[in-house]
C-alpha cells in the first residue's frame, strides 16, 4: 500500500518545502489540480527535479484529448496522470495508449460517477492502472466520504489496482487501510496539520 501526499493549496516553493519535511514517509507526491491550474505542468517538473527518488502524480483530471494531455504530463516528468471516470471510453483509451508509450500509469478518478459499480466494471476493461474513489471538497463539505465506495470497487474491479481519496485523516485511516486499497491519498490530513512530519510518520506506520 502506497501513501500519496496531495498538494493542492500551495505554490511550487511551498510544495517543495512541505515535501522536504515528510518525504521519508511518502511514496507519491500529487501535484493537485489547483496547483496545475495556478502553476502549470512546470510544477510537476519542479517536483520531479527536486525529488527524483519520489513518484509524482499529475492530477490533471483529464476529460478530453486523453492522449495529448498524457503526453504533455509525461514530458513534464509525471509518473502517474489522472483521467476522469465520467469521460468517454475513447478518452480513457487514448490516455492509456499514450501512458504505455512512455511507461507511465493512468489513475482513473471516479469523482462524480453516479453508478459506480457499473462504471468501475467498464473502466476496468480499458487497461487503466488504478481506479480511484474520491469524495471531492464540495461533497466533503456536506459530510460525505468514499469509504463505502472503496469497498464497492474492491468487490467489482478485477484487473486494475485501487485507490481512495477525499478527506482522509489520521483518525479515519484505520478504516481505510482495513479495506486494503493500493494507494491511500491524503491532502489536508497531512498538509493542514501543525506537525506534518509526526502525522505523516504515523500514517506510514498504519499503512505498513
Ligand X SMILES: O=C(CO)[C@H](O)[C@H](O)COP(=O)(O)O
In our burial notation (b when 16+ CB lie closer than 10 A, e otherwise), range 134-146 reads bbbeebeeeeebb
Select 6 or 83, whichever has its Cβ closest to ligand X. 6
Least separation in angstroms between residue 200's CB and ligand X is 13
In the numeric block, the cell 511507461 is attached to 103
Select 59 or 129, whichever has its Cβ closest to ligand X. 59
Point out which residues bind ligand X (CB under 6 A): 6, 8, 30, 32-33, 59, 136-137, 165-168, 185-189
Least separation in angstroms between residue 189's CB and ligand X is 5
Q: How far is it, in rounded angstroms, from Cα 185 to Cα 40?
A: 21
Least separation in angstroms between residue 4's CB and ligand X is 8
Least separation in angstroms between residue 132's CB and ligand X is 9
Contact of 45 with 15, CB cutoff 8 Å:
no
Select 100 or 177, whichever has its Cβ closest to ligand X. 177
Select 100 or 197, whichever has its Cβ closest to ligand X. 197
Least separation in angstroms between residue 187's CB and ligand X is 3
The residue whose Cβ lies closest to ligand X is 187
Select 68 or 137, whichever has its Cβ closest to ligand X. 137
Amino acid at each position: 500500500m502506497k501513501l500519496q501526499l496531495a498538494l493542492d493549496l500551495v505554490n511550487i516553493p511551498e510544495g517543495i518545502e512541505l515535501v522536504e519535511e515528510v518525504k521519508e514517509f511518502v511514496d507519491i507526491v500529487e501535484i493537485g489540480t489547483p496547483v496545475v491550474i495556478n502553476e502549470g505542468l512546470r510544477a510537476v517538473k519542479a517536483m520531479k527535479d527536486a525529488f527524483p527518488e519520489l513518484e509524482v502524480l499529475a492530477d490533471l483530471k483529464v476529460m478530453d484529448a486523453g492522449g495529448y494531455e498524457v503526453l504533455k504530463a509525461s514530458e513534464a516528468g509525471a509518473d502517474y496522470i489522472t483521467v476522469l471516470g465520467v469521460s468517454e471510453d475513447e478518452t480513457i483509451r487514448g490516455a492509456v495508449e499514450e501512458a504505455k508509450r512512455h511507461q507511465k500509469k493512468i489513475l482513473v478518478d471516479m469523482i462524480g460517477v453516479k453508478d459506480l459499480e457499473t462504471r468501475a466494471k467498464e473502466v476496468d476493461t480499458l487497461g487503466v492502472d488504478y481506479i480511484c474513489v474520491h469524495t471531492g471538497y464540495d461533497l466533503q463539505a456536506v459530510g460525505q466520504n468514499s469509504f463505502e465506495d472503496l469497498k464497492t470497487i474492491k468487490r467489482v474491479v478485477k484487473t486494475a489496482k485501487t485507490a481512495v481519496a477525499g478527506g482522509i485523516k489520521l483518525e479515519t485511516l484505520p478504516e481505510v487501510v482495513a479495506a486494503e486499497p493500493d494507494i491511500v491519498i491524503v491532502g489536508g490530513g497531512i498538509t493542514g496539520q501543525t506537525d506534518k512530519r509526526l502525522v505523516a510518520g504515523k500514517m506510514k506506520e498504519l499503512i505498513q
